[in-house]
Amino acid sequence: MPAESNWGGNVAFTARRLHHPESVAELQEIVARAPRVRALGTRHSFSTVADTDGEHVSTSRLPAVIDVDRTERTATVGSGLRFGEIVRAIDEAGLALHNLGSLPHISVAGACATGTHGSGTGRRSLAGAVRGMTMVTADGELAEIRRGEADFDGSVVALGALGVVTRLTLDLVPAFAVRQTVYEDMPREEFRENFDAVMSAGYSVSGFTRWRERAVDQVWLKERVEADGAEPAPRTWFGATAADGPRHPIPGMPGTHCTPQQGLVGPWYARLPHFRLEFTPSSGEEIQSEFFVDRRDAVAAFDALWQVRERFSSEVLIGEIRTVAADSLWLSPAYGRDSVAFHFTWAPDAEAVARAVRVVEEALRPFSARPHWGKLFTAPSPDALRELYPRYDDFRALAARFDPSGVFRNAFMREHFPD
């Protein structure tokens, strides 16, 4: 097959062939005859979670289903659709997703399978909205899994190990409006001493830092408001000052690529993401890592990273700090604990980034940090993962039952979930 890579360019896929099935029946035939196969979404993972030495199946040409049920407050959507492609139909029905990631460019199935999350105190990850899903299993048959069934909590964040998802049914909430204000130069002590107040001040809050001369370069405050407006956002907030124009998280990048700021009220889907669908997200060539700690340890973890910042900050394009609510999904990085995620967008230097990631991992080790499955990490070992994820062995057993011949197993799964 032609050379294929992930979005960031740091992973060269090794699959022998790439299929683009246009129907579920065609997908079933491909899976049934392939000795090894993996689903490929929008390629926004920076780990090798989606790679295979067998065959890839892209979900991008599967039926673009968007079925909104106002009565049940659900949306059933095709797995290959991107979040930015489903939100308008949901909004037109007077409904909304409870959360969105910073990028509307990612596929619904891929985001849920890796525990990708969005942000907000009390807001579960994107996978937390999944009520049910349909997938093609290793024998080419269709399986449906619904919330409340015994296998459900192990099947949503499943890293592609159980099958190829074709549809997902997502819970919805009433539509709402949001305004976004960017504050600059929040002093480190203000941020750490008022961490809970800052992170709980809006529907979604993100702190951006390069881990250099000041702790928090920007804080993006996304507040739920009435559509006809609200009191103006204060000009100063916890020692930070409201930006006088559009800002991008990465210094030097154009703020016009980002969703509207400066307190302009708009629909949920046009404010909760950081980036507009019509622009290339973030900086393009980059590598990303992210680590989740218990929210109760957030300030201590922040301090631990600050103490070693000089050993990794030169590789950081930007870091982001967000909150994620606990859930019950076995492999979710927020499983069983309200969490704070420390995200790092690195310059595209694989060797230097690997060194920097090890520094970050070591600093966060005392806090039982869980890595984002779809982003670059070098640890932990399978034994350590077993300690971090109480349902680790249950998931291994579930994967073996769904896929006894290892059709969906790849090097990533063999490394982190060995037989």
Q: Burial letters for 161-197: b for 16+ Cβ neighbours within 10 Å, e otherwise?
A: bbbbbbbbbbbbeebbbbbbbbbbebeeebbbeebee
Alpha-carbon gap, residue 198 to 179, rounded angstroms = 16
The DSSP element (H or E) to which 362 belongs, if any, is helix 350-364
DSSP structural state of residue 4: -
Res 215 pLDDT > 80: no
Lowest mean pLDDT among 182-196, 276-290, 355-369, 374-388: 276-290
CA 87 to chain CA centroid, Å, is 17
Lowest-confidence pick of 163-177, 283-297, 359-373: 283-297
pLDDT digit string, tens, across residues 259-293: 999 999 999 999 999 999 887 665 567 999 999 99
pLDDT score, position 1: 39
Query: In the structure, what pLDDT confidence band is assigned to residue 320 with cuts at 50, 70 and 90?
Result: very high
**Rounded average pLDDT over 6-25:** 94
Statement: residue 62 has pLDDT above 90: yes
pLDDT of residue 214 exceeding 80, the answer is: no
Q: What is the full DSSP assignment across 238-263?
A: TTEEE-SS---SSTTS-GGGBPP-TT
Nearest of 74, 42, 77, 84 to residue 59 by alpha carbon: 42
Tell me the two tokens of residue 328: 């019950």
- Residue 14 phi, psi (nearest 5): -110, 10
Round to whole Å and give the CA distance between 150 and 134: 15
Helix residue ranges per DSSP H, 200-311:
298-307
Domains 66-174 and 177-371 share a fold: no
- Where do the structural domains in the chain lie, given as residue ranges? 66-174, 177-371
- CATH fold group of domain 177-371: Alpha-Beta Plaits (3.30.70)
Q: Chain centroid to CA 330: how far?
A: 16
Strand order from edge to edge, sheet including 142-146: 66-69, 74-78, 164-171, 130-136, 142-146
Instruction: Tell me the average pLDDT across 152-167.
Output: 98
Q: For the chain, what is the mean pLDDT?
A: 95
CATH 3.40.50.10860 fits 66-174, yes or no: no
Selection from 143, 161, 51, 164 nearest residue 397 by Cα? 161
Question: Residue 20 above 80 pLDDT?
Answer: yes
Q: pLDDT tens-digit profile of 202-211?
A: 999 999 999 9
The size of the chain, in residues, is 419
Over 50: is that where the pLDDT of 417 sits? yes
Element housing 353 (H / E): helix 350-364
Question: In this model, does residue 400 exceed pLDDT 50?
Answer: yes
Quick one: 241 exposed, middle or buried, by C-beta within 10 A (0-12, 13-18, 19+)?
middle
In the structure, what pLDDT confidence band is assigned to residue 87 with cuts at 50, 70 and 90?
very high
Residue 229: pLDDT over 90: no
Q: Span 170-190, mean pLDDT? A: 97
> Band of the pLDDT at 302, cuts 50, 70, 90?
very high
SS3 168: strand
Q: What does pTM read for this prediction?
A: 0.96
- pLDDT category, 28, cuts 50, 70, 90? very high
Percent of the chain past pLDDT 90, that is, above it, reads 91
pLDDT for the residue 21: 98
pLDDT of amino acid 251: 87
pLDDT-above-70 percentage for the chain? 97
pLDDT of residue 282: 59
pLDDT, residue 2, reads 44
Least confident span in 235-244, 273-282, 359-368 = 273-282
Distance CA 135, CA 398 (A): 15
Q: How crowded is the C-beta side of 356, counted as CA atoms within 13 Å?
A: 26
Does residue 228 register a pLDDT over 90? no
pLDDT at 388: 98
Spatial CA neighbour of 120 closest among 365, 409, 341, 347:
341
**Residue ranges with strand state E in 55-101:** 55-58, 66-69, 74-78, 95-96
Q: Largest Cα–Cα distance in the chain? A: 62
Residue 97: pLDDT band with limits 50, 70, 90: very high
Residue 383 has pLDDT above 50, yes or no: yes
